[in-house]
Structure 1
Amino acid sequence: MVWDVLNIIGTIAFALSGAMVALDKECDYDLLGVYALGFCCAFGGGAIRNLLIGVPVSALWEQGTLFIVAFISITLLFIFPSIFMKHWHKWGHTMDAFGLAAFAIQGAMFAKEAQLPLIAIITAAALTGCGGGVVRDLLAKRQPMIFRKEIYALWAMLAGLLIGLNIFPTGMSLYILLGLIVTLRLLSVHFDWQLPKFQFKQSNSPTYSK
C-alpha cells in the first residue's frame, strides 16, 4: 500500500510539473499540449527504461490507474491554475523528491530483477527518475533542468548504485533508501548544492614587443 501511494504521489508530481511547463507563458501551449507534456513527464522515463532493459512496451499500458491519476491532476491544474501554483511553490519540491526517489528505486529494481549488470541498474534508475523531465524539457525547447540546476539525477543514480551493490536489497531496506534519497534531494535544494561547472575563460590576445 505504501509503495502504491508513493507511485501515485510521484505520478501527480511529475504530471503537474510537465503541465505547469506547458502553461508557462513562454510555451503558451493549448489544452492538448498541456496534457501531452504532463503525460510525457509522468511516464516518459519509465517508457525509455523499458525499451533499454527489454521490458515489453505493452507494460506501459498496464498502469491504468496511474493514467487516470495523471489525467485528473492535469485537468484540475488546467481548471484551477492559481490554486495549484500557490501550493506547488510550497510543497512542490517535497512531492518531486518523493517521485524521484520512488521512481528511481522502481527502475533499479526492474533492472536488477532482469539480472542486468550494475551500469544498467544505475542507468535504469536515472532514466525512470529523470527521463520524463528530460522529455518534457526537450518538447518545450528548453535545456534539460537536470544538466544545469541543483543536483537531481545524481541522487537517482545513487539509488541505482546502492541497489545494484545489494546494500539496500529488498523489503524494509528500500523504504530506508527512499527516505535517504528524499532527504538528499531536499537538502540539495535547500542549500543549493550544485555539481562543478566548466567555465571557459577567453584569454587575452597575445601582445608582441618590437
Structure 2
Amino acid sequence: MTWDLFNLIGIAAFAISGAIVAMEEKYDIFGIYVLGLVTAFGGGIIRNALIGLPISTLWKQELFIYTALIAITLICLLPKIRISYWQKWLNFFDAIGLSAFSIQGALYAAEIQLPLVAVIIASVMTGIGGGVIRDVLAGRKPLVFQREIYALWSILIGIVIGLKWLTHSWELYALFVVIVGLRQLSAFYNWCLPGRLLEENRFKSSVSSK
C-alpha cells in the first residue's frame, strides 16, 4: 500500500461524508457535489495556503478529483436504505482519511524545514480542515470544536513527525495504523476533551442588566 492509496481512500471517504451531510440538510444536486468536494480538498488547500505551497497544485491531482466525483455520484445513486449503511462505516473511513491526511500534511511541512508549530498546524489543517468547512457550510457547529477528540490525533502526528521521532517508512505506516485505531476507540467510547460552560441563568441576567 502507498500513500497515494491512502489518499484515494481518504478523499473518497471525506467526499462521501460531505455528500451525506448535504443530503441530510436537503441540498440540491449542485450543493451535494460542492459540499463533497470541499470536504475532500478543503483541508489540503488551507494547508498549502498556510505553509506557502501553491494552491494550484490541486489541479494537478486529476485522479483524486475524479475519485471524489465518482464517490459522490455513487452515494447519490444508492437507495436511501443503503445510505444508512454507509453512515455506519463513515467513522472508519473518516479515521483513515484523518490519519493519512494528517501525516501527509506534517510531512509536507517537515520536508521544507518549517518549525515544529508549523508542522503541527499543517497536520491539523490537512486532517480536519475539510470537515470544519463542511460543517460551517451546512450550518452546523463543527464537532471538532465541541466534544469529539478529533484534532488531538492530528496534533499528536504533527509533534511526532515535527520532532523527527519517526523517520522510516514502516514507522510512518505503523503511526497511521495506531492513529486509525485511536480515532475508532475515541468514537466508540465517546472520549471527550474537557470544556468550560457558562452558568446559563447568571449569563442571561448579566446580559439583560446591560
Normalised by the size of structure 2, how large is the TM-score? 0.92
Supply the RMSD in Å over aligned alpha carbons: 1.6
The alpha carbon displacement at 1:203 in A equals: 5.3
Q: How does 1:106-125 map to 2 (within 5 A)?
A: 106-125=104-123
Displaced runs of 4 or more, over 6 A:
none
Change (3 A) 1:118 1:81: farther
What letter is aligned with 2:117? I
Share of identical aligned residues, percent? 50
The alpha carbon displacement at 1:183 in A equals: 1.0
* Alignment correspondent of 1:208: none
Distance 1:105 1:170 in 2: 13
**Higher mean displacement: 77-86 or 67-76:** 77-86
What letter is aligned with 1:22? A
What letter is aligned with 1:133? G
Distance 1:161 1:47 in 2: 21
Change (3 A) 1:197 1:64: same
SS for the counterpart of 1:28 is: coil
Distance 2:26 2:87 in 1: 20
Q: Which has the larger radius of gyration?
A: 1
Task: State whether structure 2 residue 72 is matched by structure 1 residue 74.
Answer: yes
* Alignment correspondent of 2:208: none
Distance 1:46 1:140 in 2: 20
The alpha carbon displacement at 1:83 in A equals: 5.0
1:99-144 deviation digits (Å, cap 9, x = unpaired):
0000000000000011100000000000000000011111111111
Q: How does 1:15-54 map to 2 (within 5 A)?
A: 15-24=15-24, 27-54=25-52
Change (3 A) 1:84 1:52: farther
Distance 1:81 1:41 in 2: 22
What letter is aligned with 2:152? L
Which consecutive residues of structure 1, in runs of 5 or more, have no partner in the other structure?
206-210
Q: 1:161 aligns with which of 159, 162, 183?
A: 159
Distance 2:186 2:114 in 1: 30
The alpha carbon displacement at 1:84 in A equals: 4.2
Which consecutive residues of structure 2, in runs of 5 or more, have no partner in the other structure?
206-210
Distance 1:57 1:71 in 2: 20
- Would you say how many aligned residue pairs link Structure 1 and Structure 2? 203
Normalised by the size of structure 1, how large is the TM-score? 0.92
